[in-house]
Amino acid sequence: MNFVFAEPIGLTDKDKSDFAAEMQLQNNAVTFFDTVPSSQDELLDRALTADVLVVSNYPVSEQVVMGAQNLKHIVVAFTGTDHVAQSACAQRGVLISNAAGYSTQAVAELTIAMALDLLRKVTPADAVTRSLGGRNGFLGLELQGKTFGIVGMGLIGERVALLAKAFGCRVIAWSRTVKAIDGVEFVSFDDVLSQADILSLHLPLTPQTKGLIGALELAKMKPSAILINTARALVVNTNALADALHEGIIAGAAVDIYEKEPPLDADHPLLFAPNTLLLPHIGFATHEAIALRSGIVLQNIRGWLSGEPQNVVG
């Protein structure tokens, strides 16, 4: 078998050497690439002889899936897999596994940090201080006592709920599956929109969730509410969100995920929207999460080799 890590996923040098030695004992070859492919053509070149292809969030097109004739398994070092040509994989019988759960704590903590930043105006206050200004009547808001609305109650949504409760929030949620979670009130979609002071998105991108938050949904939110998106960019209509911020329909937004990986295009509408906190997709980016992810990826490969695949998507 030939295992190809087509982009860096955060493995240490020791991780690489230990895994390569382990695979060599089983007559398997391992190739590690230390740069991100520059194009789908380059990704195909790297994957051409791969039985197992490992990527993080670099797109894997139909061209690659169909062109890599030996391909049997794609291991995604990420939670979402919508950047992989899944229909082509199904057509060819290529298995897809992910690293679900590796960034649960990291994303949940960043969600709370983003909410606090917007409510307490941390980033604007930093800018004022650096420009040699003073407080000048700066007044923020406390998280305690606010209604924290969560859309999508998977692992990350649950962890956010736990943290929000610790801050003294009332936590409400809307999700496809209603769960019995202590201190979380499941409500209708319209109610989570209209009641939330902080609305945080934690659901995957599917045909059903694409464009879930648009102009009509934003208009149902409180004018004082803030929106946080650490899920998937296309769950929100970006132009509608920018318009809502310009028009004061909602008070602010914090975003860590975009239609493409940053750097953003210079004309991206959120760059010009007021009361925004824009981060370059760092929700998963902690030392702890990357170490956990590395372990999950290697275990996914070992499980597949032993005939017991795990974390299979679809």
Cα distances (angstroms) measured from residue 76 to each of 5, 95, 158, 177: 10, 11, 23, 25
Cα distance between residue 234 and residue 219, in whole Å: 18
Annotated active-site residue in 22, 83, 261, 268: 261
**Pick from 24, 86, 35, 31: nearest CA to 59:** 86
φ, ψ for residue 50 (rounded to 5)?
Answer: -80, 135
Select which of 281, 287, 293, 308 is catalytic: 281
- Nearest C-alpha neighbor of 252 from the set 214, 189, 193, 199: 199
**The one-letter amino acid at 95:** L
Examine the residue annotation and report whether 281 is marked as an active-site residue of this protein: yes
Task: Please say if 287 is a catalytic residue.
Answer: no
Question: In whole angstroms, how far apart are CA 213 and each of 71, 88, 181, 191, 235?
Answer: 37, 29, 25, 14, 6
- For residue 265, give every residue at least 6 positions away whose Cβ sits within 8 Å of its Cβ, in sequence order, or none: none
73 assigned to active site = no
* 49, containing H or E segment: none
Q: Which of 46, 202, 232, 293 is catalytic?
A: 232
Is residue 170 within 8 A of residue 147, CB to CB? The reply is yes
Structure-block tokens of residue 276? 């925004």
Q: What's the first-to-final CA gap in the chain, in angstroms? A: 24
Q: Which residues are catalytic?
A: 232, 261, 281
